[in-house]
Structure 1
Amino acid sequence: MKDRLVYSAYALGWAVLRHLPEPAARGLFDGLADFAWRKRGKRVLQLEANLLRVCPGVEEARLRELSRAGMRSYLRYWMESFRLPVWSRERVARDVRVEGFEHLREAMESGRGAVITLPHMGNWDLAGAWVALEGYPFTTVAERLKPERLFDRFVAFRESLGMEVLALTGSGVSVVGTLARRLREGRLVCLVGDRDLSEAGIEVSFFGEATRMPAGPAALCQRTGAALLPVTLWYDGPVMRARIHPEVPVPAEGDRQERTRVMVQELAGVWELGIREHPEDWHMLQRFWLADLPVRATVEAAAGRPAARPAAAAEPAGEPAAEASGS
């Protein structure tokens, strides 16, 4: 029953919201965001806890302004995603502005292939639609959702935008192997890469505290020779802006694990700068830093490993699932 209700709610959103006039849709989702913000549920409180790491010392009033803007940004992502299937090519081109596109073009024209990796900022589906319209269809990865019909509908939606979507689990297909083949063919892979709290993740310093990020994007580039290109996204009034940053190179020294760690830390540094500039557009409503995961200390102690250090003992920040995740 719960699965049927969830699917019905999303199906209703796709069926109705795409046909609402733009001002009505935006007003509806702004109202939903404000309602959730005023209720101050656990997602809003966690968003504010995360924003305190991004903006240390921020006054309470300013923090509340940022969290309200953050909820509106997050609900804007959903509103746009429901409406994207009926947006014209001209609308997508008009509403997305990209800096640094030459970095992607050079990598693709060289035949190396590229991995675009980005944090949970702005609207990554809209950015993906723009990239596909520019002539670069790509492969990505999605976590399998429940109910199954909902996952299938998300996949069909993203494929309609020009994406090849690989299920992270349950398909019998080697996700990493498929991504590597696409890159060796000189194609493009896009992955969301800022959150991985599994043991497969790489521990990095982010805003002065320890967290884990996926190793997949950096590992794939080492394995295939593809270019690793970090991206940041943010909203600017009616448009969404994107910045494709210069390639993160593979270090000349160290073993594969050490090279991966250095590359992931460099990604973290790029994203840190982008999130600091536009904190309200980082849609991180979950626990993110290791210090916020009290269960981790219990698990590590049981395994005979030292627990993660508390926030006060974390090293200063550097200069921002499974092996790869594009959820």
Structure 2
Amino acid sequence: MQYKILKLLSYLICLLPYRLILLLGQGFGRLYYRIAARQRKRAVAQMQESLQISAEQAERIAVNLFENLGRTFMEVMYMPAFTAEKMRRYVTVENRHYLQEALAEGRGVVLLTAHIGNWEWLGAALAMLGLPITTVIKRQPNDQHTQILNEYREMAGIEVFASGTSELVSAAKALKKGKILGFLADQDAGQHGVFVDFLGKPASTPLGPAVFAKRFRAPVVPVFIVREPAGGHKILVSQPLYYQDTGNEAQDLYRITEQMTGIIEAMIQQYPDHWLWFQKRWNTPPEAVKASEQQTAAAARRGQGA
């Protein structure tokens, strides 16, 4: 039923002019700001701590954040009507040559991005430009939401792989074929991550982008999307970075993960109202990972003694 409701809503939204969609999204975001008290309070508290700003400043950013989120929701529902022609009208790409040059190396490209701006339009726009975009996604808590998002991603030309499944083998094959493999690398990685300082606090950070960059010697290209004040979006592509093999794998993986985290930090600091401040980025305490590592080591010792 939820799937059918979302599809109907999407159909109706696709009939509207883009400017009206943005206005409705802004209003929807303001409403969500008022009713989502838990997310709003978490966002304000995390902004105060991470950006070292006052509660008033954090509240102002939070209002803009929720308005942007409302616009993003409406734009995602508009994706069936998001043609290549409309993409060229509403989205510009800065420094696209970095991606093309990285692709020309023939080892695939690890695309580094985050939940900044309309990340769904980021992938769709690059795919519509003819770039071989694939992505590793984390399933939504609601399967209906995952289904509709994957439909719209594939409709735009994006090949989708689910994290934590056997589909990661297919993701590796896609990178080996020279495609672009996108990672949203700003979520809590739980007990399987590595702790890197993120906006002033240690955060469990996914190693996926670093591992793929190491295994395939693929360049890592940071790519983000931001809103233009007059409407539409700009995709920002930065110079690639590379995994440096010094012979110490743990340190090398940590180093490039730290570099990638710093790039995401800089984008958030420059566009604080574009990032999902209410997500539980620091949900896993360092002690939990240490306890997990100790349990794994103990189990290994027991296995050796058996």
- 1:202 lines up with 2:165 in the alignment: no
Separation in structure 1 between the aligned mates of residue 271 and residue 39 of structure 2, nearest angstrom: 19
Contact 1:139 1:165 (8 Å CA) reproduced: yes
- 1:113 lines up with 2:108 in the alignment: yes
264-273 vs 240-249, which moves further: 240-249
DSSP 3-state at the match of 1:242: strand
Contact 1:120 1:284 (8 Å CA) reproduced: no
Contact 2:43 2:278 (8 Å CA) reproduced: yes
Shift of 1:110: 2.0
Separation in structure 2 between the aligned mates of residue 133 and residue 232 of structure 1, nearest angstrom: 16
Separation in structure 1 between the aligned mates of residue 137 and residue 293 of structure 2, nearest angstrom: 33
Letter in 2 for 1:13: L
Aligned match of 1:213: 205
Separation in structure 1 between the aligned mates of residue 264 and residue 282 of structure 2, nearest angstrom: 15
- 1:93 lines up with 2:88 in the alignment: yes
Q: Percent identity?
A: 24
Shift in alpha-carbon separation, 1:23–1:107, aligned structure 2, 3 A: closer
DSSP 3-state at the match of 1:199: helix
Structure 2 residue runs of 5 or longer lacking an equivalent are 295-306
Shift of 1:183: 1.4
Shift of 1:269: 0.7
Aligned match of 2:254: 261
Matches within 5 A, 1:153-302: 153-168=148-163, 174-237=166-229, 238-290=231-283
Contact 1:122 1:235 (8 Å CA) reproduced: yes
16-25 vs 266-275, which moves further: 16-25
Separation in structure 2 between the aligned mates of residue 300 and residue 242 of structure 1, nearest angstrom: 35
37-46 vs 140-149, which moves further: 140-149
Separation in structure 2 between the aligned mates of residue 54 and residue 93 of structure 1, nearest angstrom: 36
Shift of 1:151: 2.9
Shift of 1:150: 4.2
DSSP 3-state at the match of 1:176: helix
User: Which has a greater percent of helix?
Assistant: 2
Alignment size in residue pairs: 293
Aligned match of 1:308: none
Shift in alpha-carbon separation, 1:31–1:107, aligned structure 2, 3 A: same
Shift of 1:93: 1.4
Matches within 5 A, 1:49-68: 49-56=45-52, 58-68=53-63
Q: Deviations over 1:9-43 (max 9, x none)?
A: 42232122121233433232212211222345111
Q: Deviations over 1:152-192 (max 9, x none)?
A: 3322211010111123356xxx2332222111111111111
Shift of 1:81: 0.7
Shift of 1:265: 0.5
Separation in structure 2 between the aligned mates of residue 284 and residue 16 of structure 1, nearest angstrom: 30
219-228 vs 190-199, which moves further: 190-199
How big is the alpha-carbon RMSD for the aligned residues of Structure 1 and Structure 2?
2.3
